[in-house]
Structure 1
Amino acid sequence: MALRPLFLLGLLLGLAVLPTLAQPAVAQPAVSEVDRSAIRETIQSQVEAFRRDDGEAAFGYASPDIRRLFGTSDVFMDMVRQGYQAVYRPRVFDFLEIVDLHGQVTQKVHVVGPDGRPVMAFYPMTRLPDGTWRINGCYLQAPDEHSA
């Protein structure tokens, strides 16, 4: 099945970044309040689309790179359902600070998934030429994965 390799690719991409996420971000990037609001609105809109199972809308908030990686909204949504239950059906979704993670503007979000487990979600963002923001991935980190 073609879906399994794509899911595994997404999972591997996320796992490759997790060790570096445990390291504290060096600085908060200079992001205007207008951009902060737009970033939060983009992420919140995608989560609302997940709750409605509106794959086309959810996929529309993904960056061009993510859209190329998954190809269709159906493949994207299958990956989210299988590997990202915390953001697919969150109980709690609280925005925290925006940080610079490896040169990319990244929104941190405290999430409690449907299983009741808390995770930290990191949303790297991409600004398109028209000024809109799109989600360029989502990396989940469990609280016990913090470095000492």
Structure 2
Amino acid sequence: MSARFVFVILTLLLLPVSAAKAEDPVADAQAVIAAQISALVGNDAETAYSYASPGIRSLYPNKDQFLQMVRKSYQPVYAASSYAFGRSTLIGGGEVVLQEVMISAKEGKDWTAIYEVRLMDDGSYKVNGVRMIRNTVSQGI
């Protein structure tokens, strides 16, 4: 079997997998956010840190510094009792996903977190930042 033939077969086999990753950037971003929140609530610094983008990792070069920052600046996420995904916006066809997450913190206060999730060169999504907004007025149902 020639090397060229093997390359063509491997390319064809891997093509659908790559395409599937890019089919639903919102679902991929939401899966990353859910996994990171789960890790944070479980106090699993290593797993939570694994979902941080290289830019965030450069600011917090190890999992302990990262977890300390989250505890201090993002307590509602760290101690989320429940959350739900809201609206999302795609930028650049899915290179960046802005995802709204409504959070009920353990102290009973409601927050909205706006996650910026970026597509990495390897096809994975990583959390590149979170903006917290305190919900002070009920929006009704």
**What band does the TM-score fall into relative to the shorter chain?**
0.7 to 0.9
Larger radius of gyration: 2
* TM-score (normalizing by structure 1): 0.70
Q: 2:112 aligns with which of 120, 131, 146?
A: 120
**What is the root-mean-square deviation of aligned Cα atoms in Å?**
2.0
> Per-residue CA shift, 1:88-145, capped at 9, x if unaligned?
11122100111258x9521100111111111110001110012110000111001249
Contact 1:85/1:114 (8 A) holds in 2: no
SS of aligned partner of 2:38: helix
Structure-2 residue corresponding to 1:136 = 128
Residue 67 of structure 1 and its aligned partner are, at CA, apart by 0.5
Could you list the runs of 4 or more consecutive aligned residues of structure 1 that deviate by over 2 angstroms after TM superposition? none
- Alpha-carbon distance in structure 2 between the residues aligned to 1:117 and 1:144: 9
User: For structure 2, which runs of at least 5 residues remain unmatched after alignment?
Assistant: 1-21
Q: Does 1:51 align with 2:3?
A: no
User: For structure 1, which runs of at least 5 residues remain unmatched after alignment?
Assistant: 1-31
For 1:1-148, what aligned pairs fall within 5 Å after superposition? 34-99=24-89, 104-144=96-136
Structure with the higher fraction of residues in strand conformation: 2
Matched residues, number: 113
* TM-score (normalizing by structure 2): 0.73
- Alpha-carbon distance in structure 2 between the residues aligned to 1:128 and 1:73: 20
Residue 33 of structure 1 and its aligned partner are, at CA, apart by 5.7
Structure-2 residue corresponding to 1:15 = none
> Per-residue CA shift, 1:6-64, capped at 9, x if unaligned?
xxxxxxxxxxxxxxxxxxxxxxxxxx762111111100000111122111110000000
